[in-house]
């Protein structure tokens, strides 16, 4: 598969076109509807923290919109959370709020000797006490897909002190990230 660099403006245009799907409904035991986006859908800012990583925007024929942020971890580190990808939250989250994350992820190059990548998806406070709304380990394959994680905030989280984080330090791997939706949901009206 040939990879080429794509400008951030082109990726932003692709992401904007794709994110117009906002307003999707979730089904399950407690029907809910999206009530409030928690990340900026029109200028997604992916940041990296920690060392041993390389990041770039690549064309990805399997990613929705045709482009992805590709992050390569060069080696395993003892504290996996020290090397991560983050996206800022733009609205405060209050105790009792249900938060739903939906993000497209693909393992371009799984961890050596395994068929999958290994990362944790979190909505986490960036200062003491470093608590989170949820933290879930996933094992993405070479078949990209959307991962959905839910959690209920047990405390208040100010927007300037909370991020989405994907901890990558579990080993040498290359992971692609596509569109991301972080929403506060409310029960559907009866």
Q: What is the CATH number of the domain that holds 17?
A: 2.60.120.260
The 3-class secondary structure across the chain, one letter per residue, is CCCCECCHHHHHHHHHHHHCCCCCEECCCCCEEEEEECCCCCCCCCEEECCCEEEEEEECCCCCCCEEEEEEECCCCCCHHHCEEEEECCCCECCCCEEEEEEEEEEEECCCCCCCCCEEEEEEECCCCCCEEEEEEECCCCCCEEEEEEEECCCCECHHHEEEEEECCCCCEEEEEEEEEEEEEEECCC
pLDDT value of position 53: 93
Residue 20 — pLDDT band, cuts 50, 70, 90?
Answer: very low
| Assigned domain for 3 exists | no
- Check whether 189 has a pLDDT greater than 60: no
Question: What is the tally of structural domains in the chain?
Answer: 1
Question: Which residues constitute the domain of residue 149?
Answer: 8-187
Asked if the structure places residue 1 within a domain, the reply is no
Answer yes or no: is 34 within a domain. yes
Lowest mean pLDDT among 19-33, 45-59, 121-135, 142-156: 19-33
Q: What is the pLDDT of residue 80?
A: 87
65-121 pLDDT, tens per residue? 999 999 999 999 888 888 999 999 999 999 999 999 999 999 999 998 899 999 999
| Position 153 in a domain | yes
Q: Is residue 181 part of a domain?
A: yes
């Amino acid at each position: 598969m040939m990879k080429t660099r794509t400008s951030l403006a082109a990726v932003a245009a692709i992401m904007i076109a794709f994110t117009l799907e906002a307003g999707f409904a979730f089904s399950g035991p407690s029907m809910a509807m999206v009530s409030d986006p928690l990340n900026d859908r029109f200028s997604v800012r992916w940041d990296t923290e920690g060392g041993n990583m390389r990041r770039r925007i690549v064309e990805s024929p399997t990613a929705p919109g045709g482009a992805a942020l590709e992050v390569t971890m060069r080696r395993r580190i003892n504290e996996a959370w020290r090397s991560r990808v983050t996206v800022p939250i733009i609205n405060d989250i209050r105790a009792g709020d249900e938060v739903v994350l939906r993000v497209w992820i693909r393992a371009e190059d799984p961890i050596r000797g395994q068929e999958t990548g290994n990362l944790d998806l979190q909505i986490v406070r960036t200062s003491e006490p470093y608590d989170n709304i949820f933290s879930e380990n996933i094992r993405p394959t070479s078949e990209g897909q959307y991962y959905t994680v839910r959690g209920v905030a047990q405390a208040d989280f100010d927007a300037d002190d909370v991020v989405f984080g994907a901890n990558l330090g579990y080993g040498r791997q290359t992971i692609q990230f596509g569109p991301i939706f972080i929403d506060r949901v409310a029960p559907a009206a009866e």
